């Protein structure tokens, strides 16, 4: 009998309004056990609002959010016990040692006292904190602070782990280490990953959500997004042969649009080597998404024009993001931090300040129907 896939998170028709202004509008998505889902959007798109509602810090204006079938609006403490949350800046205490911090977090996350010692030992080993148990948190590097934050977020073995910019401010080696840890964590937990760094989504996620102006505009697998949005099958081809001859053959074939690339454009022949003069590179686009590569091979072979390289062109996640989040009424520009994965302490700080200003809410906005303090998550 086929094992049923467990649904960990369900967001159903969720909206949030701030004094008449729409934050997010009728969001609908689910997450299953074992998924690592990238959550993308320009600044101000509604990502942080959505994550705060999922983790129980904000009350939706409309709709229902359930964690493992438990509605977070009605049973906040019970639902939050199934969530681990790592904000961009982990809430660490510099005067504590690594071990005492994990003991503190285990206590407030209701890990039974008889299990705490074993759970702390598991976290230290799993997150690569061995040998640093007695070290003060303030003396840890940024990378090890992030490891400790991850340990605190999963010490109570949550079903859902929510990560907000987990590699912000790290150096390249630390980024690779944290990505590896997230992949390992994703084998046993469902992970919602908010990031500005698009290569991170390609490297880690098996599904992508893109939000724009408060609405979900895309939900799909990264490797399938290009196919669903491509306008015609595209192939880049490098052909050995005179430019005019190659273009004549392709035009006579008549099955593709032809875009000569740099090496195929007229140039000063005196600056080209003999080999460069005998190479033509073109981008070919079919009228549909049907694969025409085999037919192209025979057309060029018959004309005695050898194909030196042929590569299917696909929309990158960057291209897709730009298409979906460029405002028609705006400047047509997308935040460079989002598109190119630029990440700096200054950008992170300014983003955090904007979020606090944008999403400040009254105490009545916070989910607290069960009058508990479980919303203080690590």
Please calculate the CA angle 34-27-152 and round it to the nearest 5 degrees.
45
CA nearest neighbour of 27 among 5, 7, 54, 8: 54
Least confident of 107-121, 180-194, 227-241, 350-364: 350-364
Contact assessment for residue 194 and residue 343, using Cβ atoms and an 8 Å cutoff: no
| pLDDT beyond 80 at 47 | yes
State the DSSP code for 3: P
Domain limits, the chain: 7-82+158-228+321-365, 231-312
> Per-residue b/e over 316-333, b at no fewer than 16 CB within 10 Å?
ebbebbbebbeeeeeeee
CATH architecture of 7-82+158-228+321-365: 3-Layer(aba) Sandwich (3.40)
Please calculate the CA angle 42-43-44 and round it to the nearest 5 degrees.
110
3-state secondary structure of 288: coil
Give the phi and the psi of residue 11 in degrees, each rounded to 5: -110, 115
Residues in the chain: 378
Two tokens, residue 212: 């724009």
Beta bridge partners of 235: 284, 312
Two tokens, residue 241: 């042969």
Contact assessment for residue 361 and residue 58, using Cβ atoms and an 8 Å cutoff: yes
Mean pLDDT throughout 303-331? Answer: 74
Least confident of 167-171, 196-200, 361-365: 361-365
* pLDDT category of residue 332 using cuts at 50, 70 and 90: very low
CATH architecture of 231-312: 2-Layer Sandwich (3.30)
Tell me the pLDDT tens digit for each residue of 247-294: 999 999 999 999 998 754 455 555 555 555 689 999 999 888 788 999
């Amino acid at each position: 009998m086929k094992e049923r896939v467990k649904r960990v998170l369900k967001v159903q028709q969720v909206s949030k309004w701030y004094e008449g202004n729409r934050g997010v509008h009728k969001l609908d998505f689910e997450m299953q056990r074992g998924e690592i889902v990238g959550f993308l959007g320009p600044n101000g798109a509604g990502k942080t609002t959505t994550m705060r509602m999922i983790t129980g810090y904000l009350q939706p204006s409309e709709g229902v959010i359930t964690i493992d079938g438990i509605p977070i609006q009605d049973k906040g403490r019970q639902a939050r016990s199934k969530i681990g949350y790592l904000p961009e800046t982990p809430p660490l205490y510099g005067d504590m040692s690594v071990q005492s911090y994990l003991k503190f977090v285990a206590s407030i996350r209701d890990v039974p006292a008889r299990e705490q010692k074993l759970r702390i030992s598991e976290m230290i080993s799993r997150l690569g904190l061995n040998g640093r148990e007695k070290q003060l948190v303030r003396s840890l590097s940024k990378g090890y602070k992030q490891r400790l934050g991850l340990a605190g977020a999963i010490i109570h073995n949550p079903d859902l782990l929510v990560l907000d910019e987990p590699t912000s401010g790290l150096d390249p080696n630390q980024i690779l280490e944290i990505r590896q840890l997230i992949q390992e964590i994703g084998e046993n937990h469902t992970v919602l990953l908010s990031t500005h760094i698009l290569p991170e989504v390609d490297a880690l996620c098996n599904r992508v959500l893109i939000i724009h102006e408060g609405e979900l505009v895309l939900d799909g697998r990264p490797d399938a997004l290009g196919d669903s949005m491509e306008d015609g099958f595209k192939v880049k081809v490098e052909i050995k042969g005179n430019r005019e001859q190659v273009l004549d053959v392709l035009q006579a074939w008549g099955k593709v649009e032809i875009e000569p690339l740099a090496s195929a454009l007229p140039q000063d022949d005196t600056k080209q080597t003999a080999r460069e003069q005998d190479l033509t590179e073109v981008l070919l686009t079919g009228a549909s998404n049907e694969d025409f590569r085999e037919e192209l091979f025979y057309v060029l072979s018959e004309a005695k024009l050898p194909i030196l390289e042929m590569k299917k062109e696909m929309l990158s996640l960057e291209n897709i993001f730009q298409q979906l989040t460029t405002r028609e009424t705006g400047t047509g520009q997308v935040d460079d931090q989002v598109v190119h994965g630029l990440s700096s302490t200054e950008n992170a700080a300014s983003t955090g300040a904007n979020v606090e200003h944008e999403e400040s809410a009254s105490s009545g906005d916070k989910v607290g129907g069960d009058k508990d303090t479980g919303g203080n998550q690590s």
